[in-house]
Structure 1
Amino acid sequence: MTSTLSLPEERFAQLAAGFGDAETVRWLVRAQGSVQRELLSAVGTFGPRDDARFTAAWGVLLGLDASAPEAVTQVLAHPYTRVWASTLLGNISRGEFIAADVHHMEAVAASAAILAGIDLRLPVPVRDGKAPLPLFGALRAAETVWIDTCRVTLDEPVRTLTHGDLTVTLEDTDPYRALPYIGSEIEPTGRLTAAEARQWQRAFTGALEFIETHLPAYLPGLRVGLRTILPLRPDGPTDRSASARTAFGAVGIAARQLNPQSLAELLVHEFQHVKLGAMMDAFELYDRADIEPRYHPPCFSHPRPIEGLLHSTYAHLALTDFWQAQRTIATGSAAAAAADRHAEVRALTAEGIALLESAGSLTVLGTTVLDAMRHRATD
């Protein structure tokens, strides 16, 4: 657990109000880096030492961490590396050693070697006809493949989205990208076509320009903390977005129409969840014993625990700002519709704040967040 003394009060206040400048979000990134390393250490400690493939890959990773620690740090910062580590540790705690998860250590080690520029010949395991390399993409294969880490040609190289000095992964290959959403209505796409990837790039450029112009307070944090966009399958008549606490820096997006303004709304909204999830890893914001799904957050038809209520309300701060911007730049009937939507979202935010006030489960720090949200909502 990270002490509150390590984050200056004014920076916590930024996050509590729903914002976070570059240095503040950089603190969240560093805090998450500590979590990621602790998880990797636990994987090495509790993993199956009688599995020769696991121990060999672990040895490679330890060697790389000694000679090229930044390369290991980069692989650990990939959102779905933490999903893998958390999944493996969960399996181990139940006495289960699932081969695909155990041997993914080889893929993690190989990616770290590629980043380090160290020429090694290493195995990469195959699942569902693909050998994944976190951060890089995948090779198509029928069984485990051996790669020369300085001479790798990928069948499905990872695509990236760029705007200025910001580059994020458009993740459609990692085998762990869907895992946080198993059993839900959230479903990542398969491999995108080249034309679809170009459409994403056009929308991304326009979305960042929109945020820079109309929602500038959100841009510095996005530039520092956004690492990955996960394309999701559209579902019905509404836009959809998703994030997972175990995948810091990643946001899932499904837009009915992939255009700059829709993507801008989904990005600022979903990155709120990313920030709050990292805050919850670092600080006690609510009573962890309050796990019953007894609250009805804004926009949810079924009850959620206190964590879900806090997430929903916090994310609605960004939605309120987005629709406030829309009502000022739209004209005619679009302006009227934006004003109606702004009023609706603002009312939902107030509803969430009232529910949090009556819950009685927030800690002192959680109450600080609540007070900051209330102040924002009444501006």
Structure 2
Amino acid sequence: MDRDRPTQPALSQFVLKVHSRCDLACDHCYVYEHADTSWRGRPMAVSAAILTRVADRIAEHARRHRLATVHVVLHGGEPLLAGPDRLRRAAEELRRALRGVSALDLRMHTNGVLLDEKFCELFLELGVRIGVSLDGDKVSNDRHRRYADGRSSHDKVIRAVQLLSRPRYRPLFAGLLCTIDIENDPVAVYDALVELAPPQIDFLLPHATWDTPPPRPRGAATPYADWLDAVYRRWDAAGRTVPVRVFDSVLRTLRGESSLTESLGLAPADLVVIETDGTFEQADSLKTSYDGAPATGMDVFTHSLDDVLRHPGMLARQQGIEQLCAQCRACPVVASCGGGLYAHRYRTRNGFDNPSVFCPDLLALITTIRDREAAVPAPPRAPAAELTMSRGDFDDLAAGFGGADTIARLAAAQLEINQELLAAVSGRVALSDREGAAAWELLTDLDAEVPAALDTVLAHPYTRPWALSVLEGRAAPAQGLAEIAAATVLRARLDRGVRLAPRDGVLRLPGLGSVHLGEGADLAEVSAGPEGFTVCAGARRLDIGWHEGLDGPVPHWQPVRLFEGQGWSVAIEDTDPLRDCHRWPVARRTAADEAKRWADDLAGAWALIRRELPAYADGVAAGLRLITPLHAPDGSNVSAACKEAWGAIGAARPSSPDQLALLIVHEFQHVKLAAVLDAVDLYDPADRALYYAPWRPDPRPLAGLLQGTYAHIAVTDFWRVRRVRAAGAAERVAAEAEFARWRVQTARAVEELLGSGSLSDLGREFVTSMGETVGGWLDEPVTAAARAAADRSARRHRAEWTARLEGTS
């Protein structure tokens, strides 16, 4: 469904200064060592009042411009000097204000010297990803990044990066930022950074202007291009195993795609800085131009972000190629270069109406890469896969995790798919279908009037299976369109009648519940009121209160029951007639006593997940919308996830809350991976081979092996924690045996995937990261008995699998 979105520019990236001083004295720092001196008059740390106002201003802007995601970087100075309490306050204020408005991508950029386990635990809880400044090996780093007394910072930064590389904290690691000094050996710098296995490397040109040009030793024409080209050749020869943002941006812009950095490309600037005193500033890099260059004269208390957008300096950076000087506009690589970083164009006599002071280097670098790419034929690859989600989200999910913001963005992408499917369904409404046309017209009105309520209904996990059934010719559109319209009207409490047909006597209200009218019921009309809603069917009228039926006494009304845990609300969906899309048969409507048992077990399971599996908890809370009870004829623990029903899992209630916790994190892995596969091609679908899966008696296709391996990351992690945290000694011994078994089996499944030859480039990257997570657990000590039991189990399963396969061949 097309939305009438504002077309004016918007700001989606915010640098929030939480502390204005630094514990290092780097001599190339643009904040303290260049032209601007405004930091001297600012408070050291941002106040609670300013944090609240900043969050409200950002949310106000995001709501007005309907931003799907807001990106905030906590910065300084050195942001860790702000301390854990102030950092927590900043994150919580942002989440409070943006809840229900936009997803929050929250990051921090730090020099790393203060980073420790306590900070990492806090950032795991808050979902803050960490970028670290490091200029390479010790000699290279110590050229600039020192304490005021001359001491080296290198060892402390390396310890910080090693901390972020631990499996528990790896999801926090956003990458390394390196400022180029051409006196440093480019290959030594690159090798030192790559050795730390960062998820990304960002090389930055040193800040300079035409008034204070960068060093060019011995009159070299393009020393910075030469330095980067040496790194590029090393990176290319090694197989480009680590994303390097400047190179990826050049390659993308040469293909006509967008840049990944503001220093290249023609995309309008969408970033603003908020200082510790609440003033709005333009990009920090402008501090290198002249004293006061970034200032806007505006602050969070008296100005909106739309006011900031109208500032002349911001407007100048919104005009793409038109705001460049004549020399840049005539340049053959302007689409890639974009004039370089805005601050690097400054000259006193004519402001920013110049090419970049690095113009010769940018031209040489881009043309060299262009010519080299054109000269080398592309190697044979698995089917091309484009990364259509953010690099940070991809890395989080590839490691097997994914915090609240990452999962919220997956949910937003899934909602967009449902919106597109709904629009496609409308195209199946025949001219003669008056009910379908009326329902679609009403949905169009509701989209304009109450879009949030409509989106909530469209996000119901069983929307997509219904839409696909229509598009595949297995169902007519009118009934489902009317059901979505009716549920939207009820959610928005609108006094407006909606006519819809029941399904075998059951009136489906997706996400809310079902009204049982009995066989033979024809069209019904639904409308909302302040106390409840009304259903009129023929001569029959039912007045239903909003809170009726939860304990079962109302025979005709079966509402969806909600489990409300600390930070998580999940529906026990046993009412939707379209819920039967899981591998096992669905259970009937649960009685009140069984619903109470579900709630009790969920409370125990959720407490365990929050306490013992925090790396999964926020993601579950952000993405798992409902659990559909299943029926297991033999009483076994069965569970499933349907790839089309994103946000849902099905399960028979297991024997204990601990088992339910395992089931939830296991099945939610499938939910996450299904959304990744909607966005990214990880493997060649033409592969028809079957592979060994250590948890299945039958050989599996590649897609099934990938799903199972990804799910068993969570299974392995569950037993890894339970071997220490389970209450009884016998339970801990059993958990250790399970951990020893599944870490080895999951690692072998990763090897099977990597050896298939059918993964795309991104697929290999994704599965390699999965393997790194599991590989980190292989070094953890287990008893000899647990290791022996794991080996016996693995040998027995493989032998039985082989015998079964030979018996069927």
Work out whether the TM-score is over 0.5.
Answer: yes
Aligned partners of 1:2, 1:62: CA distance in 2, in Å?
A: 35
Residue-pair matches, total? 366
Q: Is the 8 A contact 2:385 2:760 kept in 1?
A: no
Please provide the CA RMSD for this pair: 1.9
User: Shift of residue 124 of structure 1?
Assistant: 2.8
Check if 1:167 corresponds to 2:574: no
User: Shift of residue 5 of structure 1?
Assistant: 5.7
Of 56, 59, 69, which aligns to 2:438?
56
Aligned partners of 1:2, 1:74: CA distance in 2, in Å?
A: 31
Q: Paired residue for 1:125?
A: 501
Check if 1:4 corresponds to 2:401: no
User: Shift of residue 115 of structure 1?
Assistant: 1.6
Aligned partners of 2:689, 2:571: CA distance in 1, in Å?
A: 34
| 1:97-143 Cα shifts (integer Å, max 9, x gaps) | x35x6412211110011122221112232123311100110111131
Following TM superposition, the consecutive aligned residue runs of length 4 or more in structure 1 with deviations greater than 3 angstroms are 235-238
Q: Paired residue for 2:472?
A: 90
Check if 1:230 corresponds to 2:628: yes
Of 544, 560, 572, which aligns to 1:158?
560
Q: Paired residue for 1:148?
A: 527
Q: Is the 8 A contact 2:690 2:699 kept in 1?
A: yes
Q: Paired residue for 2:76?
A: none
Of 34, 45, 53, which aligns to 2:427?
45
Check if 1:342 corresponds to 2:739: yes
User: Shift of residue 236 of structure 1?
Assistant: 3.2
Q: Paired residue for 1:113?
A: 489
Q: Which amino acid aligns with 1:89?
A: L
Q: Which amino acid aligns with 2:605?
A: A
Of 609, 613, 618, which aligns to 1:220?
618
Query: Pairwise mapping of residues 1-379 of structure 1 onto structure 2 (< 5 A)?
Result: 4=387, 6-7=389-390, 9-91=391-473, 98-99=475-476, 102-142=478-518, 143=521, 144-150=523-529, 151-152=533-534, 153=544, 155-178=557-580, 180-181=581-582, 184=583, 186-236=584-634, 238-257=636-655, 259-290=656-687, 292=688, 294-330=690-726, 331-379=728-776
Aligned partners of 1:6, 1:349: CA distance in 2, in Å?
A: 26
Q: Is the 8 A contact 2:386 2:681 kept in 1?
A: no
Secondary structure, counterpart of 2:695 in structure 1: coil
Aligned partners of 2:493, 2:437: CA distance in 1, in Å?
A: 22
Aligned partners of 2:485, 2:500: CA distance in 1, in Å?
A: 9
Secondary structure, counterpart of 1:48 in structure 2: coil
| Structure 1 stretch displaced more, 187-196 or 301-310 | 301-310
Aligned partners of 1:50, 1:288: CA distance in 2, in Å?
A: 40
User: Shift of residue 338 of structure 1?
Assistant: 1.4
Which structure is richer in relative contact order (CA contacts within 8 A, separation 6 or more)? 1
Aligned partners of 2:607, 2:464: CA distance in 1, in Å?
A: 31
Q: Which amino acid aligns with 2:713?
A: L
| 1:64-114 Cα shifts (integer Å, max 9, x gaps) | 0111111111111000111111111112xxxx5x35x64122111100111
Distance 1:124 1:311, change over 3 A: same
TM-score (norm: length of structure 2): 0.44
Q: Which amino acid aligns with 1:70?
A: A
User: Shift of residue 334 of structure 1?
Assistant: 2.0
| 1:280-339 Cα shifts (integer Å, max 9, x gaps) | 00111111222x362233322233321111000000000001011111123332222111
Higher Cα radius of gyration: 2
User: Shift of residue 237 of structure 1?
Assistant: 5.9
Aligned partners of 1:64, 1:48: CA distance in 2, in Å?
A: 21
Secondary structure, counterpart of 2:685 in structure 1: coil
Aligned partners of 1:119, 1:140: CA distance in 2, in Å?
A: 22
| Structure 1 stretch displaced more, 46-55 or 351-360 | 46-55
| 1:51-72 Cα shifts (integer Å, max 9, x gaps) | 2211111111111011111111
Secondary structure, counterpart of 1:372 in structure 2: helix
Aligned partners of 1:120, 1:105: CA distance in 2, in Å?
A: 16
Aligned partners of 1:118, 1:373: CA distance in 2, in Å?
A: 48
Q: Is the 8 A contact 1:255 1:262 kept in 2?
A: no
Secondary structure, counterpart of 2:690 in structure 1: coil
Q: Which residues of structure 2 form unaligned runs of 5+? A: 1-383, 535-543, 545-555, 777-809
User: Shift of residue 10 of structure 1?
Assistant: 2.6
Q: Which amino acid aligns with 2:525?
A: W
User: Shift of residue 3 of structure 1?
Assistant: 5.9
Secondary structure, counterpart of 1:378 in structure 2: helix
Aligned partners of 2:417, 2:717: CA distance in 1, in Å?
A: 31
TM-score (norm: length of structure 1): 0.92
Q: Is the 8 A contact 2:579 2:628 kept in 1?
A: yes
Q: Paired residue for 2:240?
A: none
| Structure 1 stretch displaced more, 313-322 or 341-350 | 341-350
Q: Which amino acid aligns with 1:84?
A: W
| 1:12-49 Cα shifts (integer Å, max 9, x gaps) | 11100110011111111111111111111100113334
Distance 1:15 1:235, change over 3 A: farther
Q: Which amino acid aligns with 1:247?
A: A
Distance 1:301 1:48, change over 3 A: farther
Q: Which amino acid aligns with 1:19?
A: F
User: Shift of residue 164 of structure 1?
Assistant: 2.1
Distance 1:293 1:227, change over 3 A: farther
Identical counterparts, % of pairs: 38
Aligned partners of 2:402, 2:629: CA distance in 1, in Å?
A: 25
User: Shift of residue 2 of structure 1?
Assistant: 10
Distance 1:357 1:2, change over 3 A: closer
Q: Is the 8 A contact 1:2 1:282 kept in 2?
A: no
Secondary structure, counterpart of 1:230 in structure 2: strand
Secondary structure, counterpart of 1:359 in structure 2: coil
Aligned partners of 1:175, 1:49: CA distance in 2, in Å?
A: 28
Aligned partners of 2:626, 2:590: CA distance in 1, in Å?
A: 15
User: Shift of residue 365 of structure 1?
Assistant: 1.0
Q: Which residues of structure 1 form unaligned runs of 5+? A: none
Q: Which amino acid aligns with 2:465?
A: V
| 1:237-275 Cα shifts (integer Å, max 9, x gaps) | 642211111111101112341x32111100000000000
Aligned partners of 1:367, 1:300: CA distance in 2, in Å?
A: 23
Aligned partners of 2:385, 2:457: CA distance in 1, in Å?
A: 22
Q: Which amino acid aligns with 1:31?
A: A
Aligned partners of 1:368, 1:106: CA distance in 2, in Å?
A: 44
